[in-house]
Chain A
């Protein structure tokens, strides 16, 4: 018995878009760029974000900030934990993407996905503890109640490092767990996983605008974010060109953004608190004590 050989099924390719205000728009510029796999083969076209996309993302992040910062820390922790839950559920997809984009072994891909999920869980737990660790009572010499507590800085722009999943989670989770909202420029080399992560976040309980993800060129979009007067902080971890990092730091001085400079770090190592405290403001409140 013979059967006609069925024609090979043509796959449905995913269009990778930006993630702004909880939605997935294309770049307003209409531009895309080619993302290849580790062997140089075509993987997908990614949206090439423009300065106007950056502007829209900042507007979305600013709009989301009061609501997100105003949630209870307990609630923020739960939302971040929920992202970890969803990531765990979709780990096969992420492992596959890591292998395709970076050419790593199955074991390595698993290790990085494990680490990314665990890091989200770690930061989720910090949301309602960081104030106790970095704030406190100040024993002033007078009849005053005096108390210092951390508050989120506001809108934080992040140039994410390589490491499509763990790198991104490591820079993003501390920023949002503490109540900031973020505009992330995904690693130029590995933008696709960032958008997959955005899809995870879009289906989690994270309010729209808390995380906004752009794909594109750091040298093109970075200066607009660094100079934006409604951005309060900028994390340059993923800026690989020192002269660009310097230029961005100079631009950031226009409104005295809090700047985290790029520096070598081992993503797999247990993090310290600095990624949270870099984008926290200490507020000190005085009140007299008298009957």
Chain B
């Protein structure tokens, strides 16, 4: 008998109702865009899911006006205790519609249903629940209690709903109104969230959702009616935003790229470290800004760690994102797949050794197998550039000081991992790592109460926790 072939266990897509086309959500209702439109596809099948409006500068203007009106007339005047109730409502509706949101997220993004179901959607709901509680306690925040006004928020495609929650929940709790643009390739959960705002009877204009690509985002960021820009995405675009707002009064928070070191010492809890390495780089197909994409292994345990890691990677199940047993889903777009392939080829060309987990790739859709490169040094491009895919670069080190030096030897500084059974060494390392989040003996953990954000070119400002309020208050 063949050993335990798990039968397919797909989550039914019937729970979601995807419309053939979507307009923009402005002033509490769906309106036709004045620009052109584009298609969003299921990256696992390349099937077109819907026609999406591309917001033009005129649409941006309309949305900013709606947000300003809502800010002046309603939201900034509403007592925090009342704003809180709307946010609590939203948190509850997200939880109630969690299955629908999870399936839709997996269809549009390509991420495994296990992750959208167990990570993205519950943490999104938790963010609204957490910040709802702040709305009437801002005077205790240490950042004042005066909102900024209208926030332009631009989010990426890797955690569409979760990033929306990270942006909208604190903004609304502080009394701001928002114009949010989901990524071009993953607009659907943001549009479903617009429906949730309607269900919650959120006053019109408090949340406006504009779909579109980079030019829409640019129009939002440069709009004179905006008081605040919050962006999560690439460092390149982050820098462009920082330049665009120079000399204005617009406040900015940026959560950008990373090239995190995940450091494994010879006394690490080795089985959990291997899990952490796998979680660190293969979670969400490696489409994670804080991914542990540089594995630094103490040379004395290199062979053992590599053998365990490869064995573990061989049990990863790649395939249908809606299958509950899938660990690794589809790459979000053909564009991203090309970028991953190109950088992996650079790794080959630079003489690093590529190893991919044995798995069959589906014939349609965008796929890349879980892959690691050994023989990588700090002089390899794959150790320096963010690949944003399921590709791990493995380096070695000899001493704690060398580990710190290598870990910090990057313009990024978003996250880092340390695995050791020795408490004092962990604290020593954590103190020296230039990263906004240090996961010790764990990785890729997120919580609404826990501030997240980078050092250096990984951006500025923090999202989550009390610190996440700072970017929305004056």
Asked whether the complex places CB atoms of A and B closer than 8 A, the reply is yes
Cβ contact within 8 Å between A146 and B246: no
Is residue B400 contacting chain A, with contact meaning CB distance below 8 A?
Answer: no
Cβ contact within 8 Å between A136 and B442: no
**Binding stretch for chain A, among B69-77, B104-112, B445-453:** B445-453
Cβ contact within 8 Å between B465 and A148: yes
> Given B142, B256, B455, B460, which contacts A133 in the complex, CB threshold below 8 Å?
B142
Contacts A256-B459, A286-B437, A286-B438 given: A246-B450 contact, CB under 8 Å?
Answer: no
Complex: A33 Cα to B183 Cα, angstroms: 54
Is residue B302 contacting chain A, with contact meaning CB distance below 8 A?
Answer: no
Complex: A255 Cα to B254 Cα, angstroms: 12
> Given B247, B254, B462, which contacts A256 in the complex, CB threshold below 8 Å?
B254
B419 to chain A, nearest CB (A): 11
**Binding stretch for chain B, among A163-171, A206-214, A217-225, A276-284:** A276-284
**Binding stretch for chain B, among A34-42, A84-92, A137-145:** A137-145
A181 to chain B, nearest CB (A): 15
Is residue A188 contacting chain B, with contact meaning CB distance below 8 A?
Answer: no
Cβ contact within 8 Å between A255 and B457: yes
Residues of A within 8 A of B447 (CB): 138, 140-142, 146
- Residues of chain A from 121 to 143 with CB closer than 8 A to chain B in the complex: 133-134, 136, 138-142
**Binding stretch for chain A, among B13-21, B235-243, B281-289:** B235-243
Residue interface bits B417-458, CB-to-A below 8 A is 1, else 0: 000000000100010000111111110010101111101110
Would you call the interface of chain A mostly helix, strand, loop, or mixed? mixed
Is residue A288 contacting chain B, with contact meaning CB distance below 8 A?
Answer: yes
Which range holds the interface residue count of chain A?
Answer: 35 or more
Residues of B within 8 A of A258 (CB): 460
Residue interface bits A245-276, CB-to-B below 8 A is 1, else 0: 11101101111101100000000000001000
> Nearest CB to that of A277 among chain B residues?
B470
Cβ contact within 8 Å between A253 and B442: no
Complex: A148 Cα to B464 Cα, angstroms: 11
Cβ contact within 8 Å between A256 and B451: no
Interface centre among A134, A139, A259, A281 (most CB of B within 10 A): A281
> Nearest CB to that of A263 among chain B residues?
B249
For the complex, count residues of B whose C-beta is within 8 A of A.
39
Cβ contact within 8 Å between B450 and A138: yes
Complex: A253 Cα to B236 Cα, angstroms: 10
Contacts A255-B456, A256-B242 given: A283-B435 contact, CB under 8 Å?
Answer: yes
Is residue B381 contacting chain A, with contact meaning CB distance below 8 A?
Answer: no
Cβ contact within 8 Å between B246 and A253: yes
Complex: A287 Cα to B420 Cα, angstroms: 11
Residues of A within 8 A of B238 (CB): 256
Cβ contact within 8 Å between A284 and B452: yes
Residues of B within 8 A of A255 (CB): 411, 456-457
> Given B256, B439, B459, B462, which contacts A282 in the complex, CB threshold below 8 Å?
B462
Is residue A16 contacting chain B, with contact meaning CB distance below 8 A?
Answer: no
Residues of B within 8 A of A281 (CB): 436, 455
Is residue A196 contacting chain B, with contact meaning CB distance below 8 A?
Answer: no
Is residue B466 contacting chain A, with contact meaning CB distance below 8 A?
Answer: yes
> Given A146, A250, A282, A288, which contacts B453 in the complex, CB threshold below 8 Å?
A282
Is residue B113 contacting chain A, with contact meaning CB distance below 8 A?
Answer: no
- Residues of chain B from 225 to 240 with CB closer than 8 A to chain A in the complex: 235, 238-240
Residues of B within 8 A of A136 (CB): 466
Residues of B within 8 A of A287 (CB): 426, 440-442
> Nearest CB to that of B272 among chain A residues?
A288
Contacts A253-B242, A256-B238, A256-B456 given: A138-B449 contact, CB under 8 Å?
Answer: yes
Known: A140-B447, A250-B246, A283-B437. 20 other contacts (CB 8 A): A138-B447, A138-B450, A138-B451, A138-B465, A139-B449, A144-B442, A146-B450, A148-B467, A247-B246, A253-B246, A254-B239, A256-B457, A282-B453, A282-B462, A282-B467, A285-B437, A285-B438, A286-B440, A286-B445, A287-B426
A-B contact pairs, 19 of them (CB 8 A): A136-B466, A141-B449, A144-B445, A146-B449, A148-B465, A232-B456, A249-B243, A249-B247, A250-B243, A250-B247, A252-B242, A255-B411, A256-B459, A281-B436, A282-B451, A282-B462, A282-B467, A284-B452, A286-B450
Shortest 8 CB-CB contacts between residues of A and residues of B: A246-B247, A249-B246, A253-B242, A140-B447, A138-B449, A250-B246, A285-B438, A287-B440
